Structures are given as C-alpha cells and as structure tokens.
Structure 1
C-alpha cells in the first residue's frame, strides 16, 4: 500500500480533541492528513496543530479557494504551514464554488480556470522566493516578496474535475485533487492527468445499514452534484442521463424530489459503504485503479469516529 489519507477535523469533533488520534496515525499506516474549508474550520489551522502532534504525516489543504484570500496572503499562509511542519506541507488550491466564494465570502466568482491558473503561477514564483511584479489575466501583484521563503519546495496541487484543469495540473502543478468519483472513473481522470500525483477524497460511510448510507449519500449527492462544475464533471464521466431527473427536480425548486431521484447505483458508485472491511477494500480499489493518495472523508454513522478511523487504517 502506498499513501493513505484521512480528512480532519472529523465531523462535529472540536479541533483540539484530535491530538491523540493524530499522534497515532503514522503507526496505524496513515501517511496523510488533509483539511477542507467550507463552513467549519479553515484549511490551515488544523494542519498547523497536526504538524505539532505528528512527526511524519504529510499535511495538505483540499482545498483552499483561490478567491477567498489575496494572492500574497495565500503565499504567506502556505509558507508558514511549510515552516511549522518541517516541509511536510502540500498546498491544494482550487476555484471552489459560487456559494462559497460569492454568497459566503462576497467575492466575484469569475473565470475560475484563469483565476486558478494565475494563482498557481503567482504562488510558484512567490514560494520560490522571487519578487513578483506581474499583471496576470485576473489580478495584478506589484512588488511582493516573501520575507522568508520556504526552505524546501512547497508542492502545489490543483482541484481538478475535467480535462482542462487536469491538464493544467499535469503541466504546471505537482498533481491534482479530485472528489465525487467512483473507483471505475479513475482511469478516465488519469488519462488526462498523466503520471502526476492524483489525490482523491473518497466519502466513506462504514455501516452495514445500506438504506441509511444511501439516504445520507442521496442528500449529499443532490447538494453537491447540482453545482455546475460537478454536474459537468458527471456528464463527462457518463452519468448525465442517470442524474437528469435529479437535476430537473432541483432546477424546479423541489429539493425533496431531487434527493429521492438519485439512483441507488449512483450512490453506491460515489459513496463507499458497508462493513469496515468492505470499506477498506473499496478504498484500496481506488488506489489499485490509479489514485496515488486516497483521502478518506468519514461520514457520520453514530459510531465513535475515532474508532472508525483506526479501523479503516490500512494496517488495521
């Protein structure tokens, strides 16, 4: 087994209560901790703490939106995370979504591909210690240089769903981060990315109550996959026809109907559920199909989440 990641913080668990778990992760076989940034914790603070609680775990943001921090602040945050982790930090950036960027952070969500590309190019220069004085297509930076450049290169990975962004990740970044894909979808994503690192957040619901797992999965899928970027992603992956009734109900404002119209087969493709052993085997299938870094996102089942993280470890 290669890399094996976990998304932290766990749902509903205060950040400081993760210390004992994080200190065990390396011994359990986990190699990575990746954060997220929606309406809970920010992307950087949990990783700064995890860096002090572990000595070997790689730490990454999946993802930090390119709109919600200015370019210079994003570079400073990444440099600080690299410093406090002793060079174990990976910066994952992406365009995020109109809800997060515009509705919650009062920023304009325009030209997401170009903004991500421009931010990537700025960060590569800034994190290398260069003085940046540049007019990009989507913003301009004048005379910025980090006070202390990172001692080691900070890898930058892009949130990528479709060919253009996957190819940009392959050409100019250090890899791609994706999510909401099935194990059988990996080959298509890999065909656009080439040999660069591919990380994938995998939603895992360790319960043998299939009805409960599917109910949770339908709720999440009808919420996420109606976002235009994810809708286009699944059109590209070949699920457009299966998801068309859900999209029609959602567009008509009938959220309950949209939820019910997500087929079980789609849920079973996109949400790993079953016994802990079955879930662990399914995550390993993603890795066997070409995901370099599977990142488990544990969905709540009512069981102790710390125990589930331990049970889902590759060496459990």
Structure 2
C-alpha cells in the first residue's frame, strides 16, 4: 500500500506549514499529494506551485469539482499541469453536492451520474487528441448549436499535444452507484469515508463496475483506490479523536441540506444513523461544539487512525488487506512520517 498526503481544504488562507510538509513528503518518497476545492481555493494552482518545488511526488486533485469548469477547461488544466510536472498529474473529479453546485456555481445538480459520464467522455477526447472534439449529450454539446447561439461554433482539437493521452482520471464517489461508475469508466476511485470493516461491500460495488468496463480502458489490476484517512498521533486516543470530530461533524451536519447530504448518507451506511441525527441537529442549530462532541469515538476509529504509534501500526494491518492501494494521510508532518515509517514508504 502506497502513502499519499491530502492537504484538505483551505480555510481563510493556505494551511500553515503545508509547503514544508509537501517537500518533506517528496523527500520521504511519499507517492502523491492531493488538493481539494469547495468554494474558496482551487485545486490546480497549489499543485502547480508545490509541483515546481518537488521532484517525484505525484500531483492529484481530490477533487476538482466538475461544475467549476467545463470538461474542456478541466482537460486543459490537467494536460498543462502534466506537461509542467513531467507527467505527474492525476485528475480527480467529483460532482460535489447540490448546496455548492446550485448555491456557488449557479448550475442545476440533478442526474450527477449521467453528467459525470458525459464529462469524463469529453475530457478523454481532449486528452486522446484523435479528432476535433464533438459531443451531443444531455448536458454537454460541442459545438453548441441552437437558439441563442451564433451558429458558427466549430469543433476544435487542443493545440497542445498532451504529454500523456492516458493521463489517469479518478472519481470521487460515496454512493454505491457512483462507486460502480468509477470502476467502470475511471482509472481510480477516491473514497472519503472508507473503513476496513466494510471492505467486502466496497469490493462488491467495484466488481459491479469492472464487469461493465470497456476493454480499451486500463486493466482492472491497475485500478487505484486512494482513500483519504485522517491520522492523529498521540498517547491519548480520545484527545487524538477530538482532532477528527469537527471534520466529521462538518461533513455530517454542514455539507448539504437535511435530506440532501451525500456525506451524511455515507455515514448512515457505516451504521451510525442515530449519532448522525444528533450531530446534524446540533450543527444545523448552530451548536458546532456540541455537534463535534456527539461524534462517537467508534466512528472516528472506523474511518481514521488515531492514538499511539503502536495502535496505529496494529490497525494499519487491516487497512493493508483492503482494496485501498494508496492511503492519503490527512494530518500534520508527524502523521505523514509515522505512517510512512510503518509501511516503509
């Protein structure tokens, strides 16, 4: 199992010490560094900045939101980063949720699976550069025709020859159908709330997608599963878990409306519906401290690695038996160094 570092979302500004952490990860031989975007910092610019200061670490977006850019604009950003980094880019895509898509980007959210399929199709056309890009889908039409257009739009091919026509595309997915879609059309899956306890269920969803996979796609045994895993090293398990509770409270209670929160749905599938109800009620009433306090330690330990080094090393054995190919550490430099030391990265 490889090790990566997930830098997470920015809050008011760049995460303190992150440039040094990325440089240290590169020197340690860590496989990859990943960025995220919501409605603040973007996912591509930090990778270009940090990529210029590193030598071998792969540069992934986890995730670039599809509604933030047209498929062709996303392909342009990915192929540009891939050239500048010498072939280190990984394009991680995600549909986000209705709160961000409709509230921030001003776009309709329905049918995210069908939209994702079309989006990936177009990105691949740009990267393969076999012909001028043409597409007649439900959500995307290239060239655009019809009422309100000039009628002179022309099918175009990228002026830049991509460094890699097979630049890897990974999909962020939490629901069963989305996980299967990632296995069917992408080169990797980016799970957020993975747990070794449900590994058999996750493998089953992946198998459904692999069964529909087109022969021209990369081999199934090359498929990557890069799971974001919060890591907090410390002698006191409860204190270490406290560092993760606000993260879970935010996703359960604040990342979406009641009844329309896919992160909350993922927590329900882990078996924490009652706790999630309480967390969501607190969070939506403005009681964020109470929401965090209501996060069970068992939930934290399901999706994160917290506590003394010896405990983390013992629990990593279960992670190494899962479908996860890369464990994306979300934590400080100590967390990255601890995990890298245990797995021998």
Give the TM-score normalised by structure 1.
Answer: 0.85
Give the aligned partner of residue 301 of structure 1.
none
* 2:254 is equivalent to residue 220 of structure 1: no
Deviation per residue, 1:221-243 (Å, 9 max, x gap): 22202441112223333333453
User: Structure 2: which 5+ residue stretches go unaligned?
Assistant: 144-154, 208-219
Q: Is the 8 A contact 1:184 1:289 kept in 2?
A: no
RMSD of equivalent CA atoms: 2.8
The answer on 1:211 being equivalent to 2:238 is yes
Contact 1:186/1:286, CA 8 A, preserved across alignment: no
SS in structure 1 of the partner of residue 135 of structure 2? strand
1:146 alignment partner in structure 2: 158
Judging changes above 3 Å, is the alpha-carbon distance between structure 1 residues 45 and 212 closer, same or farther for their aligned structure 2 residues? same
* 1:132 alignment partner in structure 2: 133
CA 108–50 in structure 1, closer or farther in 2 if over 3 Å, else same: same
SS in structure 2 opposite 1:6? strand
- Cα distance between partner residues in 2 of 1:15 and 1:255: 21
On the 8 A contact 2:233/2:334 being kept in 1, the answer is: no
Give per-residue Cα distances to partners, 1:288-309, cap 9 Å, x unaligned. 22201110111xxxxxx43443
Worse-matched range after superposition: 240-249 or 27-36: 240-249
Q: Distance in 1 between matches of 2:318 and 2:275?
A: 23
Answering whether residue 119 of structure 2 is matched by residue 119 of structure 1, we say yes
3-state DSSP class of the match of 2:226?
strand
Change (3 A) 1:42 1:311: same
SS in 2 for 1:151: coil
1:164-211 per-residue CA deviation (whole Å, 9 max, x = no partner) reads: 111111111112111123232333212211353211111112223333
1:48-93 deviation line (CA, Å, top 9, x unaligned): 2333223222221100010011222111101111111211211000
Q: Give the structure 1 partner of residue 229 of structure 2.
A: 202
Q: Given that residues 202 and 283 in structure 1 are in contact (C-alpha distance below 8 angstroms), is that contact kept between their aligned partners in structure 2?
A: no
C-alpha distance in structure 2 between counterparts of 1:277 and 1:182, whole Å:
19
Aligned residues: 309
Change (3 A) 1:244 1:158: same
Q: Does structure 1 residue 184 correspond to structure 2 residue 197?
A: yes
Residue 323 of structure 2, aligned match among 290, 307, 315: 290
User: Cα gap change, 1:248/1:51 in structure 2, threshold over 3 Å: closer, same or farther?
Assistant: closer
What is aligned with 2:7? 8
Moved more, 40-49 or 4-13: 4-13
Moved more, 153-162 or 280-289: 280-289
Instruction: Please state how far the C-alpha of 1:11 moved relative to its aligned partner.
Output: 6.7
1:308/1:218 CA distance change after superposition, 3 Å: closer
Contact kept, 8 Å, 2:68 with 2:105, in 1: the verdict is yes
Partner residue of 1:157?
170
Q: Which structure would you say has the larger Rg?
A: 2
> Residues of 2 paired with 1:72 and 1:155: CA distance?
16
SS of residue matched to 1:204: strand
Contact 1:43–1:61 (CA under 8 A) maintained in structure 2:
yes
Matches of 2:50 and 2:285, distance apart in 1: 44
Please point out which of 263, 277, 280 is paired with 2:296: 263
